[in-house]
């Protein structure tokens, strides 16, 4: 009986050991991370993305522009500041400043002057918006005008109802003088208002060149002819303040060097009789050249003389001869 008791106790001990081993194995299977909870070594920091953008490097380098040297030009007969500036595409003001000329910009034949060359400008990068000054200029309606013979800044300003100062400021002019062929930009946004309304310039279209009728080209006249009458066809119904400018030049007087003999008169008729005192008194025939041009009264000069501007094309030029001899012209066979 005692032997059986010892065997029973041994069996119980074996069973307890087996049960403990099974329990340990099961706990390792269900909770595998429990044994590795203790950190070992030094933790590695993780990079965090910044929400503040890094500044992008920009180039502050501005391309430099080397100004071109001025052109040396010798003034010839008939040159004007306006003509030279128009030919070289520069402003009259730049010529006056570089040569220390007066506001009238008077030139002497044979004098060497400097003509500034336009400085090349760096094209700016395109932007979506304009600067305030550029936006104001872009919003201003404009009209391009080319100065014709006998034009004046006063007449142009009066015709467009824009002040002379506005035209000068907009075109960079420093004097009231304009030149034939000069191109002007008229700022219509600065037209003067009358009674709250902005008038529109009513410049009529230029008239065509008058068609000359009499005398025939090259026709001779002597004392046997009582009068020398110039006649031409009308260009249309002239408006108030519009006339025909009659110009007659004694070509012979100019050729022999005794002086310039020129007759300029204004009429509203299509006929003009050469004054007796303008004819030559000698027996040697004189050649006269004449032409007609429509003009418009544009104001008065400082001395009160009327001033005219061109209102159309100039006619062709014809000639006739005059002799103080009483001998009648010889008829052609």
- For helices 92-99 and 81-88, the axis angle rounded to 10 degrees is 110
Kindly list the structural domains of the chain, giving each domain's residue range(s) and its CATH number in brackets, ordered by start.
71-115 (3.10.350.10), 148-190 (no CATH), 212-322 (2.60.40)
* 58: its two tokens: 């920009």
| Tens of each residue's pLDDT in the chain, 333 residues | 455 667 777 777 777 776 666 666 555 555 454 444 445 555 555 544 444 555 555 555 555 556 678 888 898 888 888 888 888 888 888 888 888 887 778 888 888 988 887 665 555 555 555 555 566 666 688 888 888 887 888 888 888 888 899 899 888 888 888 888 898 988 888 877 544 444 444 455 588 999 999 999 999 998 888 889 999 999 888 888 899 999 999 888 777 665 568 889 999 999 999 998 888 777 778 899 999 999 998 888 888 889 998 888 999 999 999 887 665 444 343
Find out whether 65 and 122 touch, Cβ atoms under 8 Å.
yes
With contact defined as beta carbons under 8 Å apart, do 89 and 115 qualify? no
Angle between helices 153-160 and 164-171 (to 10 degrees): 110
Q: What's the pTM value of the predicted model, to 2 decimals? A: 0.40
Q: Do the Cβ atoms of 198 and 304 come closer than 8 Å? A: no
Three-state secondary structure of 309-320: EECECCCCCEEE
């Amino acid at each position: 009986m005692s032997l059986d008791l010892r065997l029973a106790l041994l069996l119980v001990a074996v069973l307890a050991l087996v049960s403990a081993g099974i329990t340990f194995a099961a706990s390792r299977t269900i909770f595998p991370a429990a044994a590795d909870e203790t950190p070992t070594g030094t933790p590695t920091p993780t990079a965090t993305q910044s929400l503040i953008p890094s500044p992008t490097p920009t180039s502050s380098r501005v391309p430099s522009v080397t100004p071109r040297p001025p052109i040396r030009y010798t003034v010839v007969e008939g040159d004007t500041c306006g003509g030279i500036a128009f030919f070289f595409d520069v402003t009259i003001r730049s010529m006056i400043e570089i040569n220390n000329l007066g506001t009238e910009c008077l030139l002497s034949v044979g004098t060497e002057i400097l003509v500034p060359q336009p400085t090349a400008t760096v094209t700016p990068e395109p932007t979506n918006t304009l600067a305030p000054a550029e936006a104001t200029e872009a919003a201003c309606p404009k009209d391009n005008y080319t100065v014709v013979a006998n034009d004046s800044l006063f007449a142009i300003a009066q015709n467009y109802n824009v002040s002379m100062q506005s035209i000068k400021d907009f075109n960079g002019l420093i004097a009231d003088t304009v030149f034939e062929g000069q191109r002007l930009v008229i700022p219509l946004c600065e037209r003067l208002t009358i009674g709250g309304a902005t008038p529109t310039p009513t410049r009529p279209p230029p008239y065509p060149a008058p068609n000359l009728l009499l005398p025939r080209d090259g026709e001779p006249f002597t004392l046997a002819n009582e009068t020398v009458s110039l006649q031409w066809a009308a260009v249309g119904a002239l408006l108030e303040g519009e006339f025909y400018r009659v110009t007659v030049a004694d070509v012979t007087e100019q050729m022999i060097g005794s002086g310039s003999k020129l007759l300029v008169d204004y009429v509203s008729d299509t006929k003009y009789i050469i004054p007796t005192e303008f004819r030559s008194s000698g027996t040697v025939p004189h050649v006269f050249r004449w032409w007609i041009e429509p003009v418009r009264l544009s104001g008065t000069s400082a001395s009160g003389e009327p001033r005219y501007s061109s209102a159309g094309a100039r006619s062709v030029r014809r000639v006739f001869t005059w002799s103080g001899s009483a001998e009648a012209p010889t008829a052609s066979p």
